[in-house]
A and B are shown apart, each in its own frame.
Chain A
Amino acid sequence: MRKRLEDVAPPTPDAPAGPSRDEEDATRAGVPIRLPSDAPPAIDDESGLNDAWLVERTRQGDQAAFGVLVRRYERKLIRVLARLSRDPEAARDLAQETFLRVYDRLDRFDAGRRFGPWLFRIGVNLGLDHLRRRRNDPTPGSIDRVHGDGGSPYDPPDPDPRVRAELAQEVQFILAQLPVSYRTILVLRDLEGFSSSEVAAIVGRREATIRWRLSKAREKFRQIWERRQDAARGAARDG
């Protein structure tokens, strides 16, 4: 297995000096700051910086700007990849690879478009490639192997966190039964909350196609969910 990047990472560099009050106001408003010197501005208040400006700063060689983009999107990207691949460790590796590709291809990014869907498009494509490779070479110990086709379904939503975790696992199990195209749409739209237009931008399809595919994916999910719930009720009755 590939060596994890954290194992070779140096300690995190010191945080840059904090910006002045004017700079803080400007960054909160999403306005790029122009300093009197040629030195790149210190990035402290990350939330106010818009993606396009950070991309431009990265193109000019400001790695701290790219760090802001990474921190802004990494958790959601890892979640999407983990839900697609059902392998959190592989999801972190795939996310790292995604950010590296994004960094390498930043000159090809159209600044007139949104950075987020472009990033997730690269990440989802990497995730789908990973799924294709794994289909040819299944990894032992995956959740599919643990449950198998006869895995027991779980009860409907419950406030107990353990039950919620089991329910999430059951949902993941059903998602794994769906075709990859349906699974991708459900993960992006219903689990991660992307809008239909964002999903269309990520997967490179028209919005009407996404709506049609979302309808089919939800219906397929319902069929498998109800079948497993009926089987669980039947098994409970039989003792």
Chain B
Amino acid sequence: MRRTPDERACDWVRDRLPLVAAGDDPAPGDAGEARHAVQAHLDRCDPCRARRDGLARAMDALSAAASESPVDPRAPSLWPALQARIAAESASPRRGAASRPWSLGAPVGALAVAASLTLFVGLPLAERVREESAARMEAASAPLPPPAPSSSLADAPLQPEFPDEGPSEATDLALLDAPPLLDPEGRAIDAPRPTAPPDTPPAVRFDLDRGIPMPPDARIDRPTY
């Protein structure tokens, strides 16, 4: 519902009445203008004038209450008790340092705590880090162990896989002394013979992203991953 210009004027005045009625300035800049505008409106608007009168009565009540102290004016000062408490807290080393942060005790205490932390926590930690670093460096600079001699299966000591069922040691020695078996061409069957290079197909590179072989032209000069 739209408000008439008169109603909007009443709203404007009533927003400012609590300040103007008590002698306060609604705003630093327009004090005089606002006061004159409010007064001009009040001269012709009975409801706003009634509002102003109600505010004046309420402010009178506040002023009367302001003159009544809620506490006994003969009550003793707080200072003696405060002085005693300040002295007690200053005598206590813990509260004294906290209550007088501008005194020399606070920074000295903080430095002492920091030094203690450094001694009891920092030094063992640094020692541990130093030891771990030395161990890593020692491990890295140690000589590599000699390569283990490559031994063929024939040189490996024979260990019966199934000792209960296999031949005895004497039987094995007899087998070694026996003449070698010959193939039809007269060569020993365990002698090394020249073998043709196997006809291996060229390596097929896979497209690892798609999981399929890459086309031949794509395999040229491409990394194999």
Interface residues of A (CB under 8 A from B): 4-6, 8-13, 59, 63, 66-67, 70-71, 74-75, 78-79, 82-83, 86, 88, 91-92, 95-96, 99-100, 103-104, 106-107, 156-157, 164-165, 167-168, 170-172, 186, 190-193, 196, 207-208, 211, 214-219, 221-222, 225-226
Contact = CB atoms under 8 A, between A and B. Distances in A.
Contacts of A106: 102
Nearest to B95: A104
Interface of B: 14-19, 22, 24-28, 54-55, 57-73, 75-86, 98-102
Interface centre among B64, B65, B83, B84 (most CB of A within 10 A): B65
A92 B78 contact: yes
B71 A157 contact: no
B102 A170 contact: no
The 10 tightest CB contacts between A and B, nearest first, are A5-B81, A171-B65, A168-B68, A218-B18, A9-B81, A107-B102, A82-B70, A222-B58, A168-B65, A157-B64
A86 B65 CA distance: 13
B72 to A, nearest CB: 7
Contacts of A99: 78, 82
Contact of B54 (A6, A70, A226): A226
Contacts of A225: 54, 57-58, 61
A75 B64 CA distance: 19
Given A63-B83, A222-B55, A70 B77 contact: yes
Contacts of B102: 59, 106-107
Given A70-B78, A156-B61, A78 B71 contact: yes
Contacts of A167: 61, 64-65, 68
B78 A191 contact: no
Contacts of B54: 222, 225-226
Nearest to A12: B80
14 contacts: A71-B77, A71-B79, A88-B70, A99-B82, A103-B82, A106-B102, A164-B64, A164-B68, A168-B68, A170-B61, A196-B24, A215-B16, A219-B14, A225-B61
A215 B19 contact: yes
A100 B18 contact: no
Contact of A67 (B18, B73, B79): B79
Nearest to B55: A222
